[in-house]
A and B are shown apart, each in its own frame.
Chain A
Amino acid sequence: AQSVSQHNHHVILSEAASLELGCNYSYGGTVNLFWYVQYPGQHLQLLLKYFSGDPLVKGIKGFEAEFIKSKFSFNLRKPSVQWSDTAEYFCAVSWTNAGKSTFGDGTTLTVKP
């Protein structure tokens, strides 16, 4: 069955620390990869996406993610986090071009000022 795993359920960092959130999916083939963010009390919004091409993709607010096909991974990174990055982060994978995505369980990031 298709599945998406996020390794960290809760991450706590101080401001200016570097961030890496892991995401792995169950098997290969053609995939579309996404990271969504949910700020407290808000709905999910797209942070960044990968469809094809350069495996290093840049998103909003200084986030980036790297697709490593051989490892079935799509890890999210940010060199220096801010208090405003406190949110829940979801990795999602779609194995079809216009269909449903499978979401990971989410990682709650708390950034201490």
Chain B
Amino acid sequence: AQKVTQAQTEISVVEKEDVTLDCVYETRDTTYYLFWYKQPPSGELVFLIRRNSFDEQNEISGRYSWNFQKSTSSFNFTITASQVVDSAVYFCALSEGDWGPYNQGGKLIFGQGTELSVKP
């Protein structure tokens, strides 16, 4: 069965610290896609990154980086030199399969989220 686990419910750091948010997923499909979304206190969900199952290259975008490891079914997210504006709930999500008549569309399966608090 498909499942996403974010074991860290809450993390609190002081500004400028590095922080890693863990994400472990379960799927039986060989083709799948992983996502990270940010939900700031204002409530909207903001797309951060998408990764597909056949591309294990790590990605860096400014202070954000993502480490995808199929061997451990993990897709971890690191924020370097955290800032107060990074305070939010972060969600990891999974979608599966290829497009086709029997495919269940592009629904996202979300983890429970990790609430990150960055103190000044």
Are A and B bound to each other?
Answer: no
